[in-house]
Structure 1
Amino acid sequence: VFVYLCSIEYTLICANVRSIYGIFKQANILAAGIGDIRNDHDANLTYEGENHVLIQQCSNYLLKLWPQVLKRQPISSPLHSVDFLAHGLDILTHKFNAGSVEEICCTNKIIEVYQWLITYLLKISYEKLEGQLKSGKMEFWAKSDSQVYYAKSLSIAYIQHFYLQRMLVLISEAPDEPIRKVLTRLFSLYGLWSLEKHIAFLYRGQYAVGSQLPELIHEAILKLCADIKDDAVSLIDAIAPPDFVLNSVLGVSDGMVYKHLEKSIKGSEYGMNRPKWWQDVIKYNLKNKL
């Protein structure tokens, strides 16, 4: 599931970066190497049929835990990613109660919402699968029909929650308060950005009513982006690997993107001259030899 989620989100990031360049789009993409990054990464989406096998393996594991949840039995795992399900029935009684942007940005609140979401998705996914089996469908088709809109969302929410769990552990181990503060903002931003994609299930399960939940999430995301803006370059230098991305025209810390773009174009072999194959392009009316 980790592979699936990383590949999907990385591809979305590449697509967003490619779409914001504006009038000098092609020159920017070429000089920054974004097109090459996207093309090199594209194959990650097609392993095992868009990684659906990984998603289904995860949901199969989680679905086996629901009978234990109903019996209120202890549940544990080596990485403690599902331990909270031991209190799943109590978690389902919770309702959304954040009243401000500051409150919804709280790490505990985001974890609380995710735990309710996972428990609810586990419940409806299990009920969907059981209903399909009782209707007489073969196990293969029953799992397929319950996977698309139910168990797939369950697996994605589960791994996102695990991300956040591990982030909290690493944040608590950070030696300096300023570092912990910035990392906590990143935690909240990723958590709320991911939760926004599950809003439909939060309303479907009646965890929230009215318009307060999406309004707070949107306001919080905008606020966190503004708060993190001043630390963006430092975060990139600290987190990103030292590869050619940061040596591109976009990776220079002085902010003079167009100056470096112009320098890159003029320094290219064909930046100011015609390429050797230019005549092949203008011969558009050549007939097929077949």
Structure 2
Amino acid sequence: MESKVIHTTEYNPTAEEDQDQSIIRRIQRLTLHLNPTLPSRQLDHLQLLTCSARAKISVNAQQLSDYMRGKHRDIQERVFEYFNSRPDLQTPIEISKDEHRELCLRQLLGLVREAGIRPFRYVVEDPEKYFAIAEAVGSVDMSLGIKMGVQYSLWGGSVLNLGTKKHRDKYFDGIENMEYLGCFAMTELHHGSNVQGLQTVATFDPLTDEFVINTPNDGAIKWWIGNAAVHGKFATVFAKLMLPTHDPKGDSDMGVHAFIVPIRDLRTHKTLPGIEIQDCGHKVGLNGVDNGALRFRSVRIPRDNLLNRFGDVSREGIYTSSLPSINKRFAATLGELVGGRVVLAHSSVGVLKIAVTIATRYSLLRQQFGPPKQPEISILDYQSHQHKLMPMLASVYAFHFATLNLVEKYSEMKKCHDEQLMGDVHALSAGLKAYVTSYTAKSLSICRESCGGHGYAAVNRFGSLRNDHDIFQTFEGDNTVLLQQVAADLLKQYKEKFQGGTLAVTWNYLRESMNTYLSQPNPVTARWEGEDHLRNPKFQLDAFRYRTSRLLQSVVIRLRKHSKTLGSFGAWNRCLNHLLTLAESHIESVILAKFIDAVRSCPDASSRAALKLVCDLYALDRIWNDIGTYRNVDYVAPNKAKAIHKLTEYLSFQVRNIARELVDAFDLPDYVTRAPIGMQSPAEAYTHYTHYVGF
């Protein structure tokens, strides 16, 4: 197929330029004939979809939704329908902190005891279903989603994942039916992301066969502990396990372990002796979650309360573990807690779906200005507005498929416990959680701005969505720290590549074609600007992976250079911004690869064409946003950069034409989006909005 050259009224090529383009097209066609593997045969059929790019795509929102929502659609609809049937459990726009906390507890109790949805059993039996419930519950009220996560994923998950059979037998039923409301006490006032630096201590007393939990200083007070301020009865407390020895220097530090510590009486709910609990107070958002601070003063717990999957202490005070070192045990412990990152990444996409749905529907509804003496036009018909929202809509789709793949990988990992897959999920969950939550946080403000003054009304939800979601960037791992974990893993994989080791699945492209990606750009292909070429998935994926490979190679050289004078820590800090850019670039490559797979796998032709359009916009928008990097290494010539920019704007226009169908495919009922300006029926939007203020 001959490539099409993009022409617009802004650009009239000279005869010499026309001749250059003709030569380039001929070289391109000859190259394709001589090397048919250049556009991967697996992706050929996707290129054919570009033939109809100039016509408006017809898409059936219901068929696209069926493909998007997948096998757990029913459980999500059960959640939605339950809360729709209980107006008394719906969160009002104005509510005090204390009222919100009690409402959140009643919401969760209702979901479990009345609606009969038991999320805890799915943590073990079907993680994919648990994450689907979490996304739906977070759509009802983000505070409720977090409270459910604290109870079942964090407190409950720590008992299941870090404990053994005796703990599951004792606590499972109470956690599931919410008789045993609990906390996850890891973060301290002075330590959050650096879990190995926690200062709380648990010293074994062989005379009484107990552990003694102590907060040695104010910096070790457990802080921001969900469920602690009001409702919690137990806490999983992370502390350094200290064993008495005959060494006159003191105790033996066995590293950070997890312990079940009762904090309130089960019958009276009074705080137990030695436990001090303070309320962390009003927060920027998520005020339905009762965050508290915990101090322990010589709190004694039975030896059996040690969650002993990776390390145990005998009655005689002898420590045993199947893992040989503190670092190995620590890594295994944290490796079992990645589910929190998975659910945050997945739920963040759910938040973005709501915001983009509201902003898109309002932008189609709202009319403003227009040609002289003619009707006003929709604000989404303005190119500037398309530039704000359409790449964001494309990103929602990209993130949906990427996080869905992460959930599937996590579920598989929990079943097979494959060590390589565990490493893959750990790095991927860290990167996607950081990338997606940061993007969503920025996008929520853009969505608010795109709706003008009406976006500022609390009833239209952007304020609460933005405030409640903001902390997603911090908890379960600060995003900057998580991106450094991804970069460190990339460096490890790079080293493995050149030592003949086996690469994890996520890094396959480094093994398969690192030499190709690190080779000098082809001066001919650097000038190709035809639409078929730019919309070829192979070109897009190669561009993403080339950037990542260049960043990886260059940061390795820089780290080696600076290590000689600054040491390893100093060199890392000197290259930190470079490392963060590398991690983000890699995650974008993974996201695009999963999106391309999803397009290829879509069985419905019209839905596949729509997804291809959206995927192209996602890819080219990301390339254009970092066009300086590609220009600096001559991967993209000036004419090609200009063509990418023009095509990105045109694809935004094309996506605008099916924007209503694309957001409808998220299948979010009006009683879930709960924003008058974002209702499915344009005729009802202003009516409901004016009715809210009393007209």
TM-score normalised by the chain length of structure 2: 0.35
Equivalent of 1:199 in 618, 627, 638: 627
Equivalent position amino acid for 2:557 in 1: E
**2:552 is equivalent to residue 126 of structure 1:** no
Q: 1:55 to 1:180 in 2, by over 3 A?
A: same
Are 1:83 and 2:509 counterparts?
A: yes
Matches of 1:68 and 1:87, distance apart in 2: 14
Higher relative contact order (CA 8 A, sep 6+): 1
Change (3 A) 1:60 1:100: same
Residue of structure 2 aligned with 1:220, choices 634, 647, 651: 647
Q: By how many angstroms is 1:143 displaced?
A: 0.8
CA contact (8 A) 1:103 1:109 kept: yes
User: Which of 4, 7, 14 is the matching residue for 2:444?
Assistant: 14
Residues 194 and 244 (structure 1 numbering): CA distance in 2 closer, same or farther, change over 3 Å? Answer: farther
Structure-2 change in CA distance of 1:24 and 1:109 (3 Å)? same
Per-residue CA deviations over 1:54-98 (Å, capped at 9, x if unaligned) read: 111111111123345567x5864234x433444222222234343
Report deviation, 1:14.
0.6
In 2, Cα distance between equivalents of 1:189 and 1:161: 14
1:143 paired residue number: 572
| 1:180 equivalenced with 2:180 (yes/no) | no
For the pair 1:43 / 2:471, whether they are aligned, the reply is: yes
Cα distance in structure 2, aligned partners of 1:161 and 1:190: 11
Does residue 1:255 correspond to 2:682, yes or no?
Answer: yes
Q: 2:529 aligns to what SS in structure 1?
A: coil
Distance change >3 Å, CA 111–CA 223, structure 1 → 2: same
Aligned to 1:287: none
1:66 aligns with 2:494: yes
What is the RMSD computed on CA atoms of the aligned residues?
Answer: 2.4
| 1:178 Cα deviation from its structure 2 partner | 0.6
Q: Which one is further off, 188-197 or 6-15?
A: 188-197
Q: Which residue of 2 aligns with 1:116?
A: 546
TM-score by length of 1: 0.80
> For the Cα contact (< 8 Å) 1:68–1:74, is it kept in 2?
yes
Aligned partners of 1:206, 1:69: CA distance in 2, in Å? 26
Task: Judge conservation of contact 1:105–1:220 (CA < 8 Å) in 2.
Answer: no
What letter matches 2:535 in structure 1?
C
Specify which of 102, 105, 125 is matched with residue 535 of structure 2.
105
Q: Distance in 2 between matches of 1:114 and 1:244?
A: 39
Retained in 2: the 8 A contact 1:245–1:251? no
Q: Which moved more, 1:36-45 or 1:187-196?
A: 187-196
Secondary structure of 1:175's match? coil
Give the Cα–Cα distance (whole angstroms) in 2 for the partners of residues 32 and 24 of structure 1. 7
Distance in 2, Cα, partners of 1:199 & 1:240: 35
Residues 96-117 of structure 1: per-residue CA shift (max 9 Å, x gap): 3431344212222110111111
Supply the distance in 1 between the matched residues of 2:586 and 2:489 (Cα, whole angstroms): 11
Distance 1:233 1:16 in 2: 19
SS in 2 for 1:138: helix
Tell me the matched-pair count.
260
In the alignment, what sits opposite 1:282?
A: none
Q: Secondary structure at the match of 2:682?
A: coil
Whole-angstrom distance in 1 between the partners of 2:432 and 2:468: 19
Kindly indicate whether the alpha-carbon contact (under 8 Å) linking 1:33 and 1:245 is maintained by their aligned counterparts in 2: no
Larger helix fraction of residues: 1
Opposite residue 595 of structure 2, the aligned amino acid is: M
Q: What residue ranges of structure 1 are gaps of 5+ in the alignment?
A: 268-290
Q: Distance in 2 between matches of 1:138 and 1:242?
A: 56
Larger Rg: 1 or 2? 2
Describe the shift of the 1:65–1:248 C-alpha distance in structure 2 as closer, same or farther (beyond 3 A): same
Structure 2 runs not aligned, ≥5 long: 1-430
Q: Distance in 1 between matches of 2:469 and 2:651?
A: 29
Stretch deviating more after TM superposition (104-113 or 115-124): 104-113
For 1:53, the equivalent position in structure 2 comes to 481
Aligned partners of 2:671, 2:585: CA distance in 1, in Å? 33
Equivalent residues of 1:74, 1:86 under 8 A apart: no
CA offset at residue 169 of structure 1? 1.6
Equivalent residue, structure 2, for 1:155? 583
1:279 matched to which residue of 2?
none
What displacement does 1:248 show? 1.4
Give me the whole-angstrom Cα distance separating, in 2, the residues matched to 1:89 and 1:260. 59
Q: CA deviation at 1:246?
A: 2.8
Match of residue 234 from structure 1: 661
User: Which of the pair is proportionally richer in strand?
Assistant: 2
Change (3 A) 1:74 1:240: farther
Quote the offset at 1:187 in angstroms.
Answer: 1.0
Give CA deviations for 1:165-215 in whole Å, capped at 9, x if unaligned. 1112222221111111111111111112222332222123232233x2432
Change (3 A) 1:242 1:153: farther
| Aligned residue in 2 for 1:285 | none
Counterparts of 1:240 and 1:159 in 2: how far apart (Å)? 27
Whether the aligned pair in 2 keeps the contact of 1:75 and 1:86 (CA below 8 Å) is no
